[in-house]
Amino acid sequence: MWVFEETLADGSLLTKTINERHENTKYLPGYSIPENVIADPCLRSTVADADLLVFVLPHQFLRTISRQITGVLKPGARAISLIKGLDTQGNDIRLITDVIRETCLPAPASPGAEVVPMSVSALSGANVAHEVAAGQFCETTIGYHHTTSLSEALVWKALFNTPVFRVSCVPDLAGVELCGALKNVVALAAGFSDGMNQGGNTKAAVMRIGLLEIRDFAARFYRGIRHETFFESCGMADLITSCVGGRNWKVAREHAATGQDLASLEQTMLNGQKLQGILTAEEVYNFLSARGLLHSYPLFTAVHRICIGEIKASDMLKHI
Amino acid sequence: MWVFEETLADGSLLTKTINERHENTKYLPGYSIPENVIADPCLRSTVADADLLVFVLPHQFLRTISRQITGVLKPGARAISLIKGLDTQGNDIRLITDVIRETCLPAPASPGAEVVPMSVSALSGANVAHEVAAGQFCETTIGYHHTTSLSEALVWKALFNTPVFRVSCVPDLAGVELCGALKNVVALAAGFSDGMNQGGNTKAAVMRIGLLEIRDFAARFYRGIRHETFFESCGMADLITSCVGGRNWKVAREHAATGQDLASLEQTMLNGQKLQGILTAEEVYNFLSARGLLHSYPLFTAVHRICIGEIKASDMLKHI
C-alpha cells in the first residue's frame, strides 16, 4: 500500500512505523493492520505490478498522483475508488472514476499497442472508518459501470466482503459516486435544521428532500442511474450516518445554533480544514446555475446560499 | 370531533374542557385547538352528517366504534385513517382501511337501495404530534387506493395541506399503511443496535435492511405497491424519526443496554402501556410463520425472537 510519507512528531517515518507496529498511529490509531499489508512510500513501485488498485485519498491530490502513475500501471489492471467527492473544471462536474479512468493510464500491452483504459468501479456506503476498523457490522455498495458485466464487480466483492462488511453490487457507478459526494450537502442542511432546534419531523423531511434531490440530479445528468441505488447503503444509509453525526452536520448545527460564520467554525472546530459539503454545495450551485436549473434543486441551492451568507440558516425551510 | 369522554383529575369532563379552553389538556396540553372544532362525546351525532371522516384512535378500539356508527353514516361519505397499526384475525393480517371499509357502512342512499361502502384513504408520515402541533415544518403522505383516481386524494390534500404540513399523494394505500405499522418493528431493531453501543454504520444498516423488508413484505402480499412510496414521508422519513426517538426505540435500547426484560420496561417506562412494535412484530411473525416465509424476513423475525426472549438482542446482527 502506498502511503504518503510523513515525519511523525517523534521524528520517525510514518511508513516505517506502520510496517513495524502494524498500526497507522497518525490517522487510525488503536487498530491493527494485517501484517501482510506493507506501507511503501514509493508510489510507482507500489502500483507497478498491481492487478487491482484501490484509490483512497483526498480527491484534490488525485491529479498529482495520476501524473506519477500513468503509463506505469500494468495492462489489464482494474481500479476501484473509495474517494467521496467530485472533480470540477470550471462549471463542469466530473466523476472521480472518470478522472481516474482518463488520467491513470496503463502501459500498452506490447510496445506500440493501443493503451486500454482501466475499468474503474466505486465503493461507497455508511462506512465511518473507525467503526469499520472496530469490526462493527456494516454494509457497503460497489457501483460498476452500467455497460459492464457483474463479473467486474464480483472481483471487488470477493476482495472486500466479510460477514461484518457486507457488500452489494449495483450496475450504477454514477449513482453510487454521486450519493457519496452529494450527501455532504444534505448533511449541512440536516445540521442547520438541528441547530435551529427543529424536531425529528423536520429533520427527516430535510433528509428525504435531500435524497430526492440527489436522485433527481443523478438521473438528469448521468446515464445508467437506477432508483434502487438510493435504497442501498451508499444512498439512504450513508445519508443517515452523515446527518446524525459527521463533520458537516456538526459544524452546520453549530452555525445555525450560534450564528458564528462557517469559516471561523472551520478554524475552531476543524483546525482550518475545509468542509467537503461546503465545497460540494458551491460546485453543484455553479453547475446548476450555469444550466438555469437552480429552481429544481431548492435544498442544494439554499444550502449554498446559507454557506455564502446570502440567506440565514433560519430561513432555510422557507426555501425548500 | 368525537372525543371519548373522560373525567379529568379535577372532576371536569374532557369534552367540556376542550370546548371551553380550546385545548386538549390531557393528551396534547399547551397547544390551542381552533375554536370551530367542537368536542362531542356522542359518536353517532358527530358522524351522522359528516361528508369526511377522519379516523384517529388506537386501533384496538376500531371494531367497537364501527359497531356504533355503521348504518348511521351519510351515503357518499369518505374516510381517511390516521391510525398506525394492523388488524389481525388469527394468522391473518388486515389493513386498518379494509376494516374501516368493511365495518363502517353508510346508510343506503334510499330505503332498500344497496349500501355502497365508503372510499377509505390513509395518511402517514414523519408526524410526531407535538412537533406538528408546534407548527414545525414537516411532510406527510396520503395513500389512496390504486384503483381510484387522484381526485379522491386531492379532497384530503385540500383539507390537510399547509405550508408547514406538506402533503404528497400516492396511489398506494397498502404501501402507506404498511410503512406506518411495520416501521415500529424496525424501530425496535434500531433501539437494540443503539443499546448494544453499535455505531452509526450499524444502525443505518439495520434501518436500511428494515425498510427493504417492509417494502418486500408489502410487494409480496398486497396489490398496487409502488417502490416510490418508500421514498415518501411515510417511508424513509417516518422510519428515521421512529429510529432516532420514539417509544419503541427507547424501550428497545434500554433492554439491550441493561438486559431488563421488555415487559418490566413497559411497566416502568410506559406505565404498563404495550409497545406497538412488540405487538406488530408478533403479528408479522405469526403471519410469516404460517406461510413458511420467516427466512425471507430475517430482521422482522429476529426482532420478535428477541421480544419473546428466544434470542438475545446482542445476537441480532448474527441473524440479519
Residues of A in contact with B166 (CB under 8 A): 205
**Where does the pLDDT of residue B60 fall: very low under 50, low under 70, confident under 90, or very high at 90 and above?**
confident
Distance between B136 CA and the closest CA of chain A, angstroms? 7
Q: How far, in Å, CA of A11 to CA of A8, rounded?
A: 5
pLDDT value at residue B144: 97
Q: How far, in Å, CA of A125 to CA of A143, rounded?
A: 10
Q: How far, in Å, CA of A29 to CA of A110, rounded?
A: 44
What average pLDDT score do residues B62-78 get? 95
Nearest neighbour of B137 by CB, restricted to A198, A228, A233? A198
Active-site residue list of B:
183
Distance between B221 CA and the closest CA of chain A, angstroms? 20
The answer to whether the CB atoms of B137 and A317 lie below 8 A apart is yes
The answer to whether the CB atoms of A244 and B244 lie below 8 A apart is yes
**10 Å Cβ neighbour count for B129?**
12
Residues of B in contact with A202 (CB under 8 A): 131, 136-138
What residue numbers of B does the annotated binding site cover? Answer: 4, 61, 84, 129, 247-248, 274, 276
Q: At A185, phi and psi to the nearest 5?
A: -70, -40
Residues of B in contact with A199 (CB under 8 A): 128, 131, 134, 136
Nearest neighbour of A233 by CB, restricted to B164, B166, B208? B208
pLDDT, tens only, A129-148: 999 999 999 999 999 999 99
**Which residues of B fall below an 8 Å CB-CB distance to A?**
126-128, 131-132, 134, 136-139, 164, 166, 198-205, 207-209, 211-212, 215, 227-228, 230-233, 236-238, 240-241, 244-245, 317
What residue numbers of B does the annotated binding site for substrate cover? Answer: 84, 247-248
Among A201, A209, A315, pick the best mutation site for testing chain B contact (most B Cβ within 10 A). A201
Among B137, B203, B316, B319, pick the best mutation site for testing chain A contact (most A Cβ within 10 A). B137
Residue A253 near residue A243, CB atoms below 8 Å: no
Residues of B in contact with A139 (CB under 8 A): 201, 205, 208-209
Residues of A in contact with B228 (CB under 8 A): 227
The answer to whether the CB atoms of B126 and A205 lie below 8 A apart is yes
**Chain mean pLDDT for chain B:** 96
* A84 carries a ligand binding annotation: yes
The answer to whether the CB atoms of B199 and A131 lie below 8 A apart is yes
The answer to whether the CB atoms of A136 and B202 lie below 8 A apart is yes
pLDDT, tens only, B148-163: 999 999 999 999 999 9
Nearest neighbour of A200 by CB, restricted to B198, B212, B245? B245
Q: At B245, phi and psi to the nearest 5?
A: -170, -170
Distance between A49 CA and the closest CA of chain B, angstroms? 34
Q: Which residue of B has its CA nearest to A239?
A: B204
**Where does the pLDDT of residue B40 fall: very low under 50, low under 70, confident under 90, or very high at 90 and above?**
very high
The answer to whether the CB atoms of B237 and A208 lie below 8 A apart is yes
Q: In chain A, which stretches have pLDDT less than 50?
A: none
Reading phi first (left if > 0) and then psi (alpha if -120 to 50, else beta), residue A246 is in: left
pLDDT value at residue A59: 87
The answer to whether the CB atoms of A231 and B240 lie below 8 A apart is no
Q: How far, in Å, CA of A243 to CA of A209, rounded?
A: 13
Q: How far, in Å, CA of A210 to CA of A213, rounded?
A: 5
Residue A101: name the closest of A149, A143, A55 by CA: A55
Residues of B in contact with A212 (CB under 8 A): 231
Distance between B241 CA and the closest CA of chain A, angstroms? 5
Helix (H) or strand (E) holding B311: none
Q: How far, in Å, CA of B194 to CA of B202, rounded?
A: 9
Cell numbers for B63: 371494531
pLDDT value at residue A273: 87
Query: Which residues touch B214 (CB under 8 Å, ≥6 apart)?
Result: B178, B179, B182, B183, B186, B230, B235, B239
The answer to whether the CB atoms of A138 and B201 lie below 8 A apart is yes
Residue B160 near residue B132, CB atoms below 8 Å: no
Residue B171 near residue A99, CB atoms below 8 Å: no
Structural domain boundaries in chain A? 181-319
What average pLDDT score do residues B182-208 get? 98
Q: In chain B, which residue ranges form alpha helices assigned H by DSSP? A: 14-21, 43-48, 62-69, 96-103, 129-133, 150-160, 173-195, 200-221, 238-244, 247-258, 262-270, 276-290, 298-307, 316-319
Q: Which residue of B has its CA nearest to A316?
A: B137
Please state the pTM of the whole predicted model: 0.95
Residues of B in contact with A201 (CB under 8 A): 126-128, 131-132, 136-139, 241
Residues of A in contact with B199 (CB under 8 A): 128, 131, 134, 136
Distances (CA, A) of A198 to A287, A312, B168: 30, 15, 21
* A248 carries a ligand binding annotation: yes
The answer to whether the CB atoms of A231 and B238 lie below 8 A apart is no
What residue numbers of B does the annotated binding site for NAD(+) cover? Answer: 4, 61, 129, 247, 274, 276
The answer to whether the CB atoms of A205 and B137 lie below 8 A apart is yes
What average pLDDT score do residues B194-220 get? 98
Nearest neighbour of B204 by CB, restricted to A199, A201, A237? A237
CATH node for A181-319: 1.10.1040.10
Residue A174: name the closest of A117, A109, A235, A128 by CA: A235
The 3-state DSSP class for residue A92 equals strand
The answer to whether the CB atoms of A236 and B208 lie below 8 A apart is yes
Task: Check pLDDT > 90 for residue B273.
Answer: no
- How many beta-carbon pairs under 8 angstroms link A with B? 132
Task: Check pLDDT > 90 for residue B12.
Answer: yes
